[in-house]
Structure 1
Amino acid sequence: MAPRQPVARASAPSWSARLREAFDRSALAVPAYRRFWASMLISNVGSWLQLVAQGWLILALTDSPAYLGFYGLLRSVPTLTVTLVGGAVADRADRRCILLVTQSAAAALALLLGLLDLTGLVRPWHILVIAFATATVMAFDNPARQAMVPGLVGNERVASAVGLNSAAWNAAAVVGPSLAGLLVAAAGTGWAFGLNGLSYLPVIWAVWTLEPATPSNRSQTPIVAHVRLGLRAVRQDRRLLGLLTLLAVPTFLGRPYLQLMPVFARDVLHTSAAGYGMLMGINGAGALSGALLVGTLSERGRRGKLLFFVNIIFASALVAFALSQWVMLSATLLFLIGASQTLLMALTNTLIQLTVPDEFRGRVMALYTVIPMGFMPLGTMALGGIGDIVGVPLTVAVAAAIALGFTLVGRRLFPEVYHLT
């Protein structure tokens, strides 16, 4: 009897092979996107340098918290009032040209502020005017940048690109403020503004190397009418209406917890300023983790079902956090909240990108941008006012419970979203 031959077993792929396969599936496999993403990561760090330094300089010049509040208001006004116009422009003009203009303008404004500061000529009103002008420029920049993603990477890599974009911002949010603190302490705020101005140069170069993004809609319709057409398109498409509504409600009712965190840290958990910083850092780490998970989770399909699941996790964890009085439990929940809120934003972004016709992409992505920038401050005002009367923990817990209830009802209101893939 012939001896039995050993059965050859296929060896498991090595880690390097698995990493290579994951890279080939990701948006980073596209050279144009890879250049664009790397340049945006650098620019995001620069943006955080300027945000931190501007606030510090305003306080140093005015010693007025009210002036800081006015500065924050001025920065939000263009986002709420001009972004929809920016979206309409992104649907009519070459998006590559829009980004070249906006990035160049933002660089010039940052360098101007740096020059004023380094020469000792800067005054508080200079900072306000430049902050307002920069926010106006970004109201045109953001919709065009968001709308360019599918054209750069293709629909099959949109989820990966959205996750990577979110990861770039969240990673910069970890590095940028710390770097800004060291730079301002060592050299002053002027150098922070100057470095931010220079950080736009890689983006300008990366965008310059892209193919022209031919506009899909060359209509000569007036801009205001063009905006209305975009709003009508959202109202008539139950998928888009559902996606934006399922983002708006938890943003209004849930996201204000970030602005109310000092109350939880000091009055509920009885921690110091260092403890508050630790809690915020853990929340940021969760947000970065969520951004890195977007591509992997999206590859499994049923993104609509996953969106509802993430919404439920976010609201449930927020209810538990609002009621928690233990630091370790609160820290764990904050990590989960950070991850789920980033997944919620990124999944919504991905599904909108895969659903919206290209002729409306800029305007719909403008709405996507306005919701977190507009609804979160409004929610903070509402929850903060109610919290003064009945207490912040109870207010946040009830608001999060309402958001949870709406998500459960939303499954029936928007079945079209639930079945999106």
Structure 2
Amino acid sequence: MFSSLRIRNYRLFFIGQVVSNTGTWMQRIAQDWLVLSLTGSSAAVGITTALQFLPMLLFGLYGGVLVDRLPKRPTLLVTQSAMALAGLALAALTLTGHVQVWHVYLAAFFVGLATVVDNPARQSFVSEMVGPGQLQNAVSLNSANFQSARLVGPAVAGLLITGVGTGWAFLLNGLSFVAPLASLLLMRGRELQAVRRAPRGKGQLREGLRYVAGRPELIWPIVLVGFIGTFGFNFPVWLSAFADDVFDGGAGSYSLFNTLMAAGSLVGALLAARRGTARLRLLIVAAAGFGALEIVAALAPSYWLFAVLMVPIGICGLTVNVTANTAVQMGTDPAMRGRVMALFMMVFMGGTPLGAPVVGWITDAYGPRVGFVLGGAVSAAAAITIGLVLARLGGLRLSVGWHHGHPRVRFVARERELAAASA
């Protein structure tokens, strides 16, 4: 489960990310709650989320082209420093009492700009640290790292918000970037896997798009995470609305919902680290389960049932993320990985600017339950549709029958059925 941590460079990277990710989750919770406090609007929270992910939608592919040209470690030093400055600036405004909602919007957009390059650089840098043999394990542990921080960050943010205010959460996030910066500086360059960088040239963006379009094993997982990222991952909108409007629980409940979802996500990440392979079948099942669980949670009649359902939602959501991420990375040529992962992250995260304001408006107009049901229904429908497409491309068809007196639904090879019919 933890085999890639034996590699020194990756171990340093992992430790730095634990600290930084904890600060990032603290800022996310504090940022959403600050906007809700300033405006009283779920739509405003959706706008904040949209602004943070809008740069990925607009410039994500160009970020991938840059990442394929640039050395990854110096690039990450620049992007991580930029995000640290954004956190410190927001802390100063909040602690001095001068913060306004447009300041939060601007900070979210600036972090999004840094993320355009930071995300594909971090994703593709993993393979340089660990090599292909440990890539699946390292990607899964990265997700476990992120979700572990998600357990601690919201809890600490909830205490800080109720105790001393949101400004301290922003300050601690800004300071937390010292850890990843130090880890990058302490790495041994000679132990990194050499990867051929793409030379500067025309048509590299189109080349990356053609590369993905010609490979069904890449394009369909990316399409699926696009639907789920756009409509199914708007948790800042839904959970803040459920905490404030449905259950009257305040910031403490919002923090609890995020913490329980993180616990489920951590379990999902550790299970992924043990598996060793990324099967598209598992991706489809996890995506369908994710959508179905969101619908069930939206209709939950009690506070604690809703809270408990955050755990399996976290497991399924993380399984979708890790399985799609690993399948796409392992199916991509290293020289194209920056552009392909930029497209992956642009679709997964960049869809949020499109979905978050719409979901926020529906949540404000028709209530949190309707908004949550919509997100789950779209996710489940996308999973089923793309599962059928992949099955058809793979020469499979859905078979419904009985086995030892019990109904059985499975995919079978068309050739097998034709052979059985001719016999």
Change (3 A) 1:289 1:345: same
CA distance in 1, matches of 2:163, 2:261: 28
Tell me, yes or no, if structure 1 residue 292 matches structure 2 residue 284: no
Matches within 5 A, 1:141-160: 141-160=118-137
CA distance in 2, matches of 1:389, 1:185: 29
What is the number of equivalent residue pairs in this alignment?
388
Say whether the 8 Å CA contact 1:96–1:213 is kept in structure 2.
no
TM superposition shift of 1:312:
3.7
Aligned CA RMSD, in angstroms, stands at: 3.6
CA distance in 1, matches of 2:44, 2:306: 33
TM superposition shift of 1:253:
5.0
Report % sequence identity: 34
Of residues 389-398 and 343-352 in structure 1, the stretch that sits farther from structure 2 once superposed is: 389-398
Q: Which residue of 2 aligns with 1:231?
A: 209
Pick from 190, 201, 207 the counterpart of residue 221 of structure 1: 201
Larger radius of gyration between Structure 1 and Structure 2: 1
Q: Which residue of 2 aligns with 1:243?
A: 221
Say whether the 8 Å CA contact 1:83–1:370 is kept in structure 2.
yes
CA distance in 2, matches of 1:87, 1:258: 27
Q: Which residue of 2 aligns with 1:200?
A: 177
Q: Which residue of 2 aligns with 1:176?
A: 153
The amino acid of 1:219's aligned partner reads P
Q: Which residue of 2 aligns with 1:307?
A: 283
TM superposition shift of 1:261:
5.1
Tell me, yes or no, if structure 1 residue 82 matches structure 2 residue 62: no
Matches within 5 A, 1:21-420: 22-23=1-2, 26-55=3-32, 62-63=38-39, 65=41, 70-118=47-95, 125-210=102-187, 211=189, 216-222=196-202, 225-252=203-230, 254-256=232-234, 259-260=237-238, 271-273=247-249, 277=254, 280-297=258-275, 299=276, 301=277, 303-321=279-297, 325=301, 333-379=309-355, 392=370, 395=374, 398-415=377-394
CA distance in 2, matches of 1:98, 1:350: 22
Q: TM-score, normalised by structure 1?
A: 0.78
CA distance in 2, matches of 1:124, 1:386: 21
Change (3 A) 1:271 1:47: closer
CA distance in 2, matches of 1:405, 1:218: 37
Change (3 A) 1:229 1:182: same
TM superposition shift of 1:414:
4.3
Which string of whole-angstrom CA distances, capped at 9 and with x for unpartnered residues, describes residues 153-203 of structure 1? 122221221121112222222211221233345554444333222211121
Q: Which residue of 2 aligns with 1:15?
A: none
Which string of whole-angstrom CA distances, capped at 9 and with x for unpartnered residues, describes residues 134-161 of structure 1? 2211211111001111111122221221
Of residues 328-337 and 70-79 in structure 1, the stretch that sits farther from structure 2 once superposed is: 328-337
TM superposition shift of 1:290:
0.7
Say whether the 8 Å CA contact 2:33–2:240 is kept in structure 1.
no
Which string of whole-angstrom CA distances, capped at 9 and with x for unpartnered residues, describes residues 274-308 of structure 1? 796455543332222111211112x2x46233323
Which string of whole-angstrom CA distances, capped at 9 and with x for unpartnered residues, describes residues 96-144 of structure 1? 1100111122223333443455556656554443332222112111110
Change (3 A) 1:96 1:272: same
Say whether the 8 Å CA contact 2:232–2:376 is kept in structure 1.
no
Task: Give ranges in structure 1 of 5+ residues lacking alignment.
Answer: 1-21
Task: Give ranges in structure 2 of 5+ residues lacking alignment.
Answer: 397-410, 412-423
Q: TM-score, normalised by structure 2?
A: 0.78
TM superposition shift of 1:208:
1.7
Say whether the 8 Å CA contact 1:88–1:363 is kept in structure 2.
yes
